[in-house]
Chain A
Amino acid sequence: MIACGGGEALPQVMIQADKQEVLAYMSKFEFPPSIKSRPVWGRLEARAGKHHLMIADAEGAAAILDIAAPELMAKSHVIYIPNGADFADKLRDLKPAQFYEGPSYSASVQRIRRVLQDAHMGLQVYLAGTEGLMGQAMQEAVSAGIPHTAIQTEHRGSTARRMQCVHCKGITENVEVDPFVCSHCGLNLFVRDHYSRRLAAYQGVCVDAEDPGNVPAQKGIYE
């Protein structure tokens, strides 16, 4: 249940303080209200389906652990990119029909494409973890023919953004501060909430175009 870029507004990440959630608590983030074009991430729920594709990075694994049930996992293909987190064994213990651990998103995308290419209607897609992972995997699922509103997401872990420089079009991954320097053209970029589903990236716009060198002090994106 996720509406992206101006869809129905759903409750954002809900924080429950029961015992099982203590671990996950640390990795959940309550996003402040924003403009309509910023994605609103949902919360995963097991849905009826013939097959299930679950793609997660780092602490996104915890969102899968939260919905895992044996009959669900028996029909699930899990693609996990740990990025330094330590959930791979826990996911393996769920005995998914297939499990793949990838060193990075770009190393895993070939497999994601292949799975989608061979998939049939009745496939449910679950995305969990960072915005960069969910956005890019959603792009793949949408171009394979799944309506974006039918893809489930849940944000966990880092709130770093995947940014596109609107000037040189280069992508800078894992941006945590605002403004930041474009890793391609070197311009000082202001981090906007304006998100592109097509690019799976937020827009970064030159912050000192009119007065070169007059760059505001750097701060965290959500500070």
Chain B
Amino acid sequence: MSGATKIGVRVTEIVPLNNLVTRFKFEPLDGSLLPTFSGGAHTVVEMKDGDRTRLNPYSLMSDPSDRNAYTISVRRDDEGRGGSLFLHKNVKVGDEMVLSNPVNLFSLDLRAKKHLMIAGGIGITPFMAQIKQLDRNHGNWELHYSARSEDLASYARELTSEHPNDVHVYYNDKDQSIDLEQLLDGQPLGTHIYICGPRGMIDWVRGTAKELGWPREAVHFEEFLAPKPGKPFEVKLAVSNKVIEVGEHESLLEAIERAGVDAPYLCRGGACGQCETNVLECDGEIVHRDHWLEPDEHASNEKIMPCVSRFTGKTLVLDR
């Protein structure tokens, strides 16, 4: 079976934080200790939605050294494919669920002299765990957290009261915003930037840092892409000799799995590279949506990331 090792858990707490965000706590079914993780790690949550299995990645936000439980905070996306809605509406305290072992694609670079964290909205979650990890090691960090309003700024109050000097919150409805150039100017040598938030924020910070001469190795970011819906299309899987139909609201990876073909994956959000698949024949256009492949690889149409990317055209044959 592909993906990281699975863990059977029970939902032990569900806490609505505001209109959009709810926190879920999971404890292992067998009473054993959960694997430790490092700040920035995510878990893939398996959701049995009727005859459909949803697998969505969520950043772990609990204390990485707490092995009794994992917590995640989920923002309800009414226009999304339904994973977050399923968690918000169908999951109850006491339910049994399956999580994957933690996987970290957004880890702290512990060689950094200082960690400068920039969060947008629900992008706060990985930093919750990273801050707990850094605090234990007396790390040097600073958080700049931008949210739509005070109501929607999950954990802002808790963070500012625990770390009044290190946490800076910006409310967009009060016309507050991060003065990025000012913030990046004069940071000590060895500072690393971590960004988790919407695409626009990631691009803005990366672009500004690059202009100011920051090395790309010192700029870390994470953006899980939810696979966007698109027109149904047909794919031939050469190795398993199957022709499958990818529905409007499912990803290519999900369609492959539904056909009973075991395909590798980890993040399911276009970031980790695990599901990279060779394209054997392509008459049409691959709609690349990942940020794993390089631009020239996208242009070559020789590879595809089935977790987020789609296809339009006549024929697509994959080496799977």
- Bound-state Cα–Cα, A87 to B186, Å: 33
Residues of chain B contacted by A92 (CB below 8 angstroms): none
* Residues of chain A within 8 A of B111, CB atoms compared: 145
Choice from B186, B190, B211, B212 contacting A146 with Cβ under 8 Å? B190
Partner pick for B214 among A117, A119, A122, A149, CB 8 A cutoff? A122
A120 to B186, CA, bound (A): 5
Residues of A within 8 A of B214 (CB): 121-122
Q: Which residues of A contact B184 (CB under 8 A)?
A: 121-122
Which of chain A's residues 106-158 have a Cβ closer than 8 Å to chain B? 116-117, 119-124, 144-147, 149-150
- A169 sits at the interface (CB 8 A): no
Give chain A nearest CB distance to B183 CB in angstroms: 11
What secondary structure prevails in chain A residues at the interface with B?
loop
Q: Quick check: B189 and A146 within 8 Å, CB to CB?
A: yes
What separation, in Å, do the CA atoms of A45 and B111 have in the docked complex?
26
- Nearest Cβ on chain B to A146's Cβ, whole angstroms: 7
Stretch of A46-54, A58-66, A199-207, A212-220 on the interface side: A46-54
Known: A48-B211, A145-B113. A123 touches B189 (CB 8 A): yes
Contact B191 A145 (CB under 8 A): yes
Q: Once the chains bind, are A116 and B189 in contact (CB under 8 Å)? A: yes
Query: Which of A119, A122, A145, A149 contacts B212 (CB under 8 A)?
Result: A122
State whether A147 touches B218 (Cβ < 8 A): yes
The interface size bin for chain B is 20 to 34
Cα A122 to Cα B186 in complex, Å, equals 8
The one of B187, B190, B213, B218 in contact with A144, judged by C-beta atoms closer than 8 angstroms, is B190
Whole-angstrom CA separation of A119 from B185 in the bound complex: 11
Can you name the residue of chain B whose Cβ is closest to the Cβ of A123? Answer: B189
**In the bound complex, do residue A121 and residue B217 qualify as a contact, i.e. CB atoms below 8 Å apart?**
no
Decide if B189 touches A149 in the complex (CB within 8 Å): no
What is the minimal beta-carbon distance from A161 to any residue of chain B, in angstroms?
Answer: 27
User: Are B190 and A47 closer than 8 Å at their CB atoms?
Assistant: no
Q: A121-B189, A144-B189 are in contact. Are A48 and B217 (CB under 8 A)?
A: no
Q: 1/0 per residue A18-52: CB within 8 Å of B?
A: 00000000000000000000000000000111100
A75 closest partner in B (C-beta): B213
B280, CB-defined interface residue at 8 Å = no
What's the least CB distance linking A147 to chain B, in Å?
4
**B109: nearest chain-A partner, CB-CB:** A147
8 Å CB interface, B191-208 against A: 191
Q: Do A121 and B210 form a contact, CB below 8 Å, given A147-B217, A149-B217, A150-B218?
A: no
CA of A146 to CA of B213, assembled, Å? 12
Which of B188, B190, B210, B216 has most chain A Cβ within 10 Å?
A: B190
Q: Which residue of A lies closest to B210 (CB)?
A: A48
Select from chain B the residue with minimum beta-carbon distance to A124.
Answer: B213
Which residues from chain A contact B190 at a C-beta distance below 8 Å?
Answer: 121, 144-146
Residue pair A150, B215 in contact (C-beta under 8 Å): yes
Contact present for A122 and B213 (CB under 8 Å): yes
- Binary per-residue interface labels of chain B (208-237) against chain A in the complex, 1 for a CB within 8 Å, 0 otherwise: 001111111110000000000000000000
Asked whether A47 and B213 contact (CB < 8 A) given A121-B218, A145-B112, the answer is: yes
* Interchain CA distance A162-B197 in the complex, whole Å: 47
Would A150 and B212 count as touching, CB distance under 8 A?
no
Q: Please give the distance in Å from B80's CB to the nearest CB on chain A.
A: 36
A50 touches B212 (CB 8 A): yes
Which chain B residue shows the least CB distance to A121?
Answer: B187
Contact of A122 among B112, B113, B185, B217 (CB under 8 A): B185
Return chain A residues, CB-CB under 8 Å to B215: 146-147, 149-150
Determine the residue in chain A with the shortest Cβ distance to B191: A121
Interface string of A79-121 (1 = CB under 8 A from B): 0000000000000000000000000000000000000110111
With A and B bound together, what is the CA distance between A121 and B214 in angstroms? 6
Q: How far is the CB of A123 from chain B (nearest CB, A)?
A: 6
Shortest Cβ distance from B112 into A: residue: A145
- The residues of A that contact B210 with a CB separation of less than 8 Å are 48
B218 and A120: CB pair below 8 A? no
Instruction: Report how far A120 CA is from B116 CA in the complex, Å.
Output: 14
- Are B112 and A121 in touch, CB under 8 angstroms? no
> Which residues B103-117 have CB closer than 8 A to chain A?
111-113
Determine the distance from Cα of A120 to Cα of B114 in the docked complex, in whole angstroms.
Answer: 12
Inter-chain contact A120/B187, CB cutoff 8 Å: yes
A-B CB proximity, top 4 nearest: A145-B190, A49-B213, A150-B215, A147-B217
Can you list 29 pairs linking A and B with CB atoms under 8 Å apart?
A: A47-B213, A48-B210, A48-B213, A120-B185, A120-B186, A120-B188, A121-B184, A121-B188, A121-B190, A121-B191, A121-B212, A121-B214, A122-B185, A123-B189, A124-B213, A144-B189, A145-B111, A145-B188, A145-B190, A145-B191, A146-B189, A146-B215, A147-B215, A147-B217, A147-B218, A149-B217, A150-B215, A150-B216, A150-B217
Task: Give B residues with C-beta under 8 Å from A.
Answer: 111-113, 184-191, 210-218
